[in-house]
Amino acid sequence: MTGVDVAAFGRVAVLMGGSSAEREVSLMSGGGVLQALRSQGVDAHAFDPAERELSDLKREGYGRVFIALHGRHGEDGTVQGALELLGIPYTGSGVMASAIAMDKTMTKRVWKTEGLPTPRWVWLSVGDQTRERLRTVPDQLGLPLIVKPPREGSSIGVTKVGGYSDMAEAVKLASRYDPDVLCEEFIDGEEVTCPVLGIGADAVALPVVKIQAPEGNYDYRNKYFTDDTSYLCPSGLPPDEEREIQRIVVAAYRALGCRGWGRADLMIRAADRKPFLLEMNTSPGMTGHSLVPISAKAAGLSYPALCVQLLASAMLDSTAAGR
């Protein structure tokens, strides 16, 4: 990214690690970001909130923060709120957008209200997970269906349920990570993802990435720890399909009030080629297998340039309100 005075950033903290179930992935993302920023002359330092108090950021004179945390206490509005109180600008979405996007059920409610396509779902609260209730869910959504914790990422705690007898075990697994459980209609088709950069009317979609995982199983292991998954960018989709996905993703991003960057995951239904929004990631992965860098590269934006651009977009909610 040309024309950026990196010295003006001051001392930069890259938040990584944290206490969520995605700690390991966050450490990989943060390590990549840290190296990239330093290669561009940024005075960047690693900072793990699981090992240090956030108040140290203020005490040690950090001017801005790159959030490379994933999951709870990093992507859910909590660390964003702390940084707001400290008055330190940070990358990515603000408190409200981060909190809503982290909760897949709330996200789907917003999207449905906005008329955006998302798979049908059933939300099971703690007191609504009886065996009798679980038997009704396949009748509502059909089989197979997906069971997942609504406030986790990286496919953690997710099960594809093929029969009534599998429901109890799937809900038990999901509830290990979240007391509430989200059951979702299964969309048979192609999995794609599409990043967005910017804020408000200036938000733009990057190229779509098509994901081809072994036997269609894009789980935690195939996301981060194998080379068996293929990422196609250019996606190979018909141009009109790609444009429609980009349009939907930008609308979904704006509906949630996201800023800085984000990445939406979608399924394209094989039967009629209709895209369905699954979730919005407000602090996407930045590992060697991650999708935003792949898409950015196809758009002519290198990994280091992407990191600097994101850092340059760091702000507080009060600053963003006027934009």
Chain segment 307-322, per-residue pLDDT in tens: 999 999 999 998 887 6
CB neighbours of residue 272 within 10 Å: 7
| Nearest Cα to Cα of residue 75 among 49, 56, 57 | 49
The three-state secondary structure class of 205 is: strand
Same-domain check for residues 127 and 199: no
Q: Which of the residues 285, 290, 295, 317 is marked catalytic?
A: 285
The answer to whether residue 306 is domain-embedded is yes
265 classed as catalytic = yes
- Ramachandran angles phi, psi of 303, nearest 5°: -60, -50
Q: Please name every residue paired with 277 in a beta bridge, in sequence order, or none if there are none.
A: 266
24 classed as catalytic = no
Q: Which of the residues 177, 218, 224, 303 is marked catalytic?
A: 224
User: Residue 244 gets which letter from DSSP?
Assistant: H
Q: What is the mean pLDDT of the chain?
A: 94
pLDDT of residue 1: 47
Within the chain, residue ranges assigned H as helices are: 23-39, 55-59, 78-86, 95-102, 104-113, 131-141, 167-175, 220-224, 239-256, 291-298, 303-312, 317-320
Q: Which of the residues 32, 265, 290, 313 is marked catalytic?
A: 265
User: Residue 16 gets which letter from DSSP?
Assistant: -
End-to-end CA distance of the chain: 22
Q: Which of the residues 17, 20, 22, 235 is marked catalytic?
A: 22
Q: What is the CATH number of the domain that holds 63?
A: 3.40.50.20
pLDDT of residue 321: 72
**Structural domain total, the chain:** 3
Same-domain check for residues 252 and 149: no
| Nearest Cα to Cα of residue 152 among 173, 124, 121 | 173
224 classed as catalytic = yes
Torsion of CA 230, 234, 236, 242, to 10 degrees: 120
For residues 290 and 229, give the distance between their C-alpha atoms in angstroms, rounded to a whole number: 11
Same-domain check for residues 170 and 215: no
The answer to whether residue 305 is domain-embedded is yes
241 classed as catalytic = no
Same-domain check for residues 145 and 18: no
Instruction: Say if CB 250 and CB 239 are below 8 A apart.
Output: no
pLDDT of residue 320: 81
Q: Which of the residues 184, 190, 279, 317 is marked catalytic?
A: 279
The answer to whether residue 1 is domain-embedded is no
pTM, entire model? 0.93
154 classed as catalytic = yes
Q: Which of the residues 29, 93, 154, 283 is marked catalytic?
A: 154
Would you list the DSSP string of 287-308? STT-HHHHHHHHTT--HHHHHH
The answer to whether residue 79 is domain-embedded is yes
Tell me what percent of the chain is helix, strand and coil, each rounded to the nearest 5.
Answer: 40, 20, 35
Structural domain range at position 143: 121-185
285 classed as catalytic = yes
Same-domain check for residues 252 and 144: no
pLDDT of residue 289: 81
For residues 131 and 124, give the distance between their C-alpha atoms in angstroms, rounded to a whole number: 12
For residues 142 and 163, give the distance between their C-alpha atoms in angstroms, rounded to a whole number: 10
The answer to whether residue 61 is domain-embedded is yes
Same-domain check for residues 209 and 275: yes
Say which residue the tokens 């690690």 belong to. 17
Q: Which stretches of the chain score pLDDT less than 70?
A: 1-2, 154, 215-226, 322-323
| Nearest Cα to Cα of residue 97 among 247, 323, 309, 320 | 320
Same-domain check for residues 29 and 175: no
222 classed as catalytic = no
